[in-house]
């Protein structure tokens, strides 16, 4: 048109003499097709992205580039391959924002400003780049799933071991406290009997008070200890033999008295 580029509004165009090209200066987006790339750690992945850009200088975008949208699309594909090739698989999966930011800077530098000549400028501003999907080979997906499962199992075992350690320490402290209090042991004994009776729907009858039962159990423990340790002395001296006979007689006397007491 005569007079150069025009802004929005009404204009008169003379047919066969003047022509015009309408440029949309709104933000436009396009999808980058999936690109199969070999990462830094030699893993083949397929990555696709979406690019948001706008034309900020329509004259340059028309005069310097034949098709600005198609050239930006091709540039985005090559930039995506270059960026992914310098990163490992773990970095691509965990730092998608960093990869997108690096790709946006490369595209923005190539389309908006050129350090060589103004004729290489395209008049396009890349506003945003997003990584949409990262597709891995099926075998690699299975291997990563198995690795993640093994890691979870190992972590569960560690947590279970820590729980066992804490519970055993708590049981030891509780047993030390119970040993210092005989009444607490009796109470724990009664609670255990109550739980057993409740589970099997049975009744437990105590023929004697618990105090007499505890004293009987104490005497029984002392008797078992005396049976394991012999009361007779050993040696070749005749006096030792006499003392052993006296002790034997005393034991028989004790047994006889116990029998009489039982008969009564």
**CA–CA distance, 129 with 250 (Å, rounded to integer):** 104
Residue 60 included in any domain: yes
Question: Residue 114's domain is classified under what CATH number?
Answer: 3.30.479.30
Question: 40: how many CB neighbours lie within 10 A of its CB?
Answer: 14
No. of helices (H) and no. of strands (E), the chain: 8, 3
Residue 72 included in any domain: yes
Residue 223 included in any domain: no
Domain residue limits at 88: 28-136
Buried/exposed 186-225: b ≥16 CB within 10 Å, e otherwise: eeeeeeeeeeeeeeeeeeeeeeeeeeeeeeeeeeeeeeee
How many structural domains is the chain composed of? 1
Bigger pLDDT: 106 vs 204: 106
Residue 77 included in any domain: yes
Residue 148 included in any domain: no
Residue 107 included in any domain: yes
Residue 171 included in any domain: no
Q: How much is the average pLDDT of 171-195?
A: 76
pLDDT score, position 223: 56
Sequence-distant (≥ 6) Cβ neighbours of residue 206 within 8 angstroms:
213
Confidence label for 219 from pLDDT (cuts 50, 70 and 90): low
Query: pLDDT tens digits for 112-152?
Result: 554 444 444 677 888 888 888 888 888 877 887 788 788 88
Query: pLDDT tens digits for 27-71?
Result: 888 888 888 888 888 888 888 889 888 888 787 777 777 787 888
Average pLDDT value for the chain? 72
Residue 62 included in any domain: yes
């Amino acid at each position: 048109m005569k007079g150069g580029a025009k802004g929005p509004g009404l204009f008169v165009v003379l047919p066969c003499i003047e022509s015009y090209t309408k440029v949309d200066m709104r933000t436009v987006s396009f999808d980058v097709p999936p690109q199969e790339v070999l990462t830094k750690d030699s893993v083949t992945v397929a990555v696709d992205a979406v690019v948001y850009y706008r034309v900020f200088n329509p004259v340059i975008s028309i005069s310097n580039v034949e098709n600005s949208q198609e050239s930006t699309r091709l540039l985005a594909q090559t930039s995506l391959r270059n960026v992914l090739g310098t990163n490992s698989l773990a970095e691509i999966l965990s730092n998608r924002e960093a990869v997108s930011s690096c790709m946006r800077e490369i595209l923005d530098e190539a389309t908006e400003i050129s350090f060589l000549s103004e004729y290489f400028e395209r008049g396009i501003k890349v506003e945003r780049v997003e990584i949409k999907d990262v597709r891995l080979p099926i075998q690699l997906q299975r291997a990563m799933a198995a690795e993640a499962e093994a890691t979870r199992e190992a972590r569960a075992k560690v947590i279970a071991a820590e729980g066992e350690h804490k519970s055993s320490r708590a049981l030891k402290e509780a047993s030390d406290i119970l040993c210092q209090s005989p009444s607490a042991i009796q109470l724990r004994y009664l609670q255990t009997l109550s739980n057993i009776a409740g589970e099997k729907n049975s009744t437990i009858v105590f023929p004697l008070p618990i105090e007499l039962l505890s004293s009987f159990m104490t005497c029984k423990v002392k008797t078992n200890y005396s049976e394991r340790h012999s009361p007779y002395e050993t040696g070749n001296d005749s006096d030792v033999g006499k003392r052993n006979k006296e002790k034997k007689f005393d034991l028989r006397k004790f047994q006889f008295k116990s029998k009489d007491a039982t008969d009564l």
